C-alpha cells in the first residue's frame, strides 16, 4: 500500500518557504541554537498550523505579554502538559471536521517543549498521547538542562557537564549520568515516526518536519539545541558546535520509520569527541580519563545505531535482490511464452 512517504517531495533548497511563523524580534540570547531549530521547524510547516508551547525558554523569549513573535495560533501551556493539550487540540479539530465546521484535516499541530518539559516532567503526558495515537508532531528542544530557570540539570544533561545543580568539584565530575535515550523511549511506544534533527543540518531538519506532518499518528522529533548561556560557549560557535556534534558522532542523525532505523548520515571518519567538548566551558574541568569515558560511550552508542540501521540495509538488499531475481524470472518466462506462441502460429 502506498504511504505518504512514498510520494514525499523534499524541500528545494533554492525555493524554501519565505513565511516565518516565528518572527525575528524575539528575545532569545545571542547565538541560541534552540530558537534556530524551532524557527526552521515552524518554517517547514507554514502559515496554517497550531503551536502548543510548554513553559521553557522558547515560550519566555517569544511571548512576553503584550507582545508575541508568533504569527500563527499559539497556546502557552504548563511545563508538564504540552502533549496533553496537543492531544486535546487534535481531538477538537477531528470533532469539528466531523460536524462539518472545518473541511481540512491536514492542519499540523506542533507541540514544543525543552528537555526538562519532555524527558522529566512532561513524560507521562507524552507517553499517554503516544499510546492513544494522537496525530501531532512533538518537538523536544534539547538544550540539555533547565535553562530558563537557571541552568539546572535534567535527565538529558550529558555525563560530565557542569550545571548549577551538578557542579563539578573534588567529589563530583559534574553530571554523573549518561543522557536518557528519549528517541528510544519514543520508538518503544511503536509510534510511526521518530527522528533526530540538528539546526546545522537545516534541510534535513525541515524535511523531517515535513515528513512528520504527512504521517498519520504521533511523530517525535528530537532537536539538538546548543545554548551559549548554559553550555558556556561563544554565541558565534552554536552552529559549529551543532555540526561537530554530528561529525564526532555525539549526536547522530537518524530516522525510525515504523520501527525501522535509518542512519541518515554515516560518519565514517569521526572527529575525536574532545573537539566537540573543548569549545564549551561546561566541560572545561574534565580530565583526559573523563573524556575517554565519554568517547567510549559515544563509540558504543554509535555502534548500536549502526547495527540497528544495518539490519534495515540488509533487509533492503535481500528484498531488492529477491525482487531482481523475480523480475529476471518473469522476463525469461515472457520470452519463452512469446517463442511458444510464435511456434504455435507457424504450425
Ligand atoms: C510544575 C512546574 N515545576 C517547575 C516549574 C518551573 N519551571 C518553568 S520552566 C522550567 C525549566 C524548563 O526547562 P526545559 O524544559 O529544559 O526548557 P528550557 O528552558 O531549557 O528551554 C522550570 C523548572 C514550572 N513552571 N512548573
Ligand atoms: S538560555 Fe539558552 S536556550 Fe534559552 S534562549 Fe538563551 S541560549 Fe537559547
Q: Looking at residues 73-83, what average pLDDT do you find?
A: 97
Q: Give 334's pLDDT tier (boundaries 50, 70, 90).
A: confident
| CA 291 / ligand 1 centre spacing (Å) | 29
Burial (0-12, 13-18, 19+ Cβ within 10 Å), 199: buried
Atom of ligand 2 at shortest distance to CA of 27?
Answer: 5
- The three-state DSSP-derived secondary structure of 264-286 is CCCCCCCCCHHHHHCCCHHHCCC
Closest by CA position to 142, among listed 175, 116, 178 = 116
Q: Looking at residues 274-286, what average pLDDT do you find?
A: 98
Q: Determine what percent of the chain is predicted with pLDDT higher than 70.
A: 99
| Residue 323 pLDDT | 72
Q: Looking at residues 86-108, what average pLDDT do you find?
A: 95
Going by the DSSP 8-state scheme, the letter that residue 155 receives in this structure is T
Q: Give 1's pLDDT tier (boundaries 50, 70, 90).
A: low
Q: Give 270's pLDDT tier (boundaries 50, 70, 90).
A: very high
Q: What is the mean pLDDT of the chain?
A: 95
**Cα dihedral across residues 194, 185, 54, 52: positive or negative:** positive
Q: Give 2's pLDDT tier (boundaries 50, 70, 90).
A: low
Q: Give 295's pLDDT tier (boundaries 50, 70, 90).
A: very high
Q: Are 231 and 29 in contact (CB under 8 A)?
A: no
| CA 302 / ligand 1 centre spacing (Å) | 30
Residues 224-265: pLDDT tens digits?
A: 999 999 999 999 999 999 999 999 999 999 999 999 999 999
Q: Looking at residues 8-13, what average pLDDT do you find?
A: 95
Q: Give 321's pLDDT tier (boundaries 50, 70, 90).
A: confident
Q: Does residue 182 have a pLDDT over 80?
A: yes
Is residue 238 within 6 Å of ligand 2 at its C-beta? no
| Residue 315 pLDDT | 75
Residue of the CA atom closest to atom 5 of ligand 2: 28
Q: Is the peptide bond before 66 cis (omega within 30 degrees of 0)?
A: yes
Atom of ligand 1 at shortest distance to CA of 156?
Answer: 16
Between β-strands 74-77 and 193-197, what pairing exists: parallel, antiparallel or unpaired?
A: unpaired
| CA 40 / ligand 2 centre spacing (Å) | 16
Is residue 57 within 6 Å of ligand 2 at its C-beta? yes
- The torsion of the CA quartet 55, 56, 60, 62, rounded to 10 degrees, works out to -90
Residues 27-44: pLDDT tens digits?
A: 999 999 999 999 999 999
Residues contacting residue 41 through CB under 8 Å, at least 6 positions apart: 110, 139, 197, 205, 206, 209, 221, 223
Q: Which ligand is nearest to the CA of 56?
A: 1
Q: Which three cell numbers stand for residue 213?
A: 506532518
Q: Are 205 and 265 in contact (CB under 8 A)?
A: no
Q: Does residue 317 have a pLDDT over 80?
A: no
Q: Does residue 131 have a pLDDT over 90?
A: yes
Q: Which three cell numbers stand for residue 5?
A: 512517504
Amino acid at each position: 500500500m502506498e504511504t505518504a512517504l512514498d510520494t514525499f517531495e523534499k524541500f528545494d533548497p533554492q525555493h524554501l518557504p519565505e513565511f516565518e511563523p516565528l518572527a525575528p524580534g524575539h528575545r532569545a540570547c545571542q547565538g541560541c541554537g534552540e530558537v534556530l531549530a524551532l524557527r526552521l521547524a515552524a518554517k517547514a510547516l507554514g502559515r496554517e498550523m497550531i503551536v502548543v508551547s510548554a513553559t521553557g525558554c522558547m515560550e519566555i523569549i517569544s511571548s512576553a505579554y503584550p507582545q508575541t513573535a508568533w504569527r500563527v495560533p499559539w497556546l502557552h501551556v504548563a511545563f508538564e502538559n504540552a502533549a496533553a493539550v496537543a492531544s486535546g487540540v487534535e481531538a477538537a479539530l477531528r470533532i469539528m471536521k466531523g460536524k462539518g465546521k472545518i473541511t481540512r484535516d491536514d492542519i499540523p499541530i506542533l507541540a514544543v517543549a525543552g528537555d526538562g518539559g519532555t524527558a522529566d516532567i512532561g513524560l507521562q503526558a507524552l507517553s499517554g498521547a503516544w499510546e492513544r495515537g494522537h496525530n501531532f508532531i512533538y518537538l523536544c528542544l534539547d538544550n540539555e538542562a533547565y535553562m530558563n530557570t537557571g541552568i539546572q540539570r535534567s535527565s538529558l544533561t550529558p555525563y560530565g557537564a557542569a550545571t548549577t545543580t551538578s557542579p563539578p568539584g573534588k567529589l563530583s565530575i559534574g553530571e554523573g549520568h549518561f543522557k536518557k535515550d528519549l528517541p528510544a523511549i519514543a520508538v518503544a511506544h511503536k509510534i510511526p515516526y521518530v527522528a533526530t534533527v540538528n539546526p546545522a543540518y537545516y534541510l534535513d531538519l525541515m524535511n523531517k518536519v515535513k515528513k512528520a506532518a504527512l504521517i498519520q499518528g504521533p511523530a517525535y522529533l528530537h532537536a539538538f539545541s546548543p545554548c551559549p548561556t548554559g553550555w558556556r560557549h561563544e554565541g558565534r560557535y552554536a552552529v559549529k558546535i551543532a555540526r561537530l556534534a554530528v561529525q564526532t558522532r555525539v549526536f547522530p542523525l537518524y530516522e525510525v520509520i515504523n520501527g525501522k532505523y535509518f542512519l541518515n548520515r554515516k560518519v565514517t571518519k569521526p572527529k575525536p569527541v574532545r573537539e566537540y567538548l573543548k569549545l564549551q566551558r561546561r566541560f572545561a574541568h574534565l580530565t583526559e580519563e573523563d573524556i575517554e569515558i565519554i568517547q567510549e560511550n559515544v563509540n558504543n552508542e554509535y555502534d548500536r545505531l549502526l547495527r540497528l540501521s544495518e539490519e534495515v540495509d540488509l533487509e533492503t538488499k535481500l528484498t531488492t535482490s529477491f525482487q531482481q531475481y523475480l523480475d529476471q524470472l518473469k522476463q525469461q518466462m515472457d520470452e519463452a511464452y512469446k517463442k511458444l506462441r510464435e511456434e504455435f502460429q507457424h504450425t
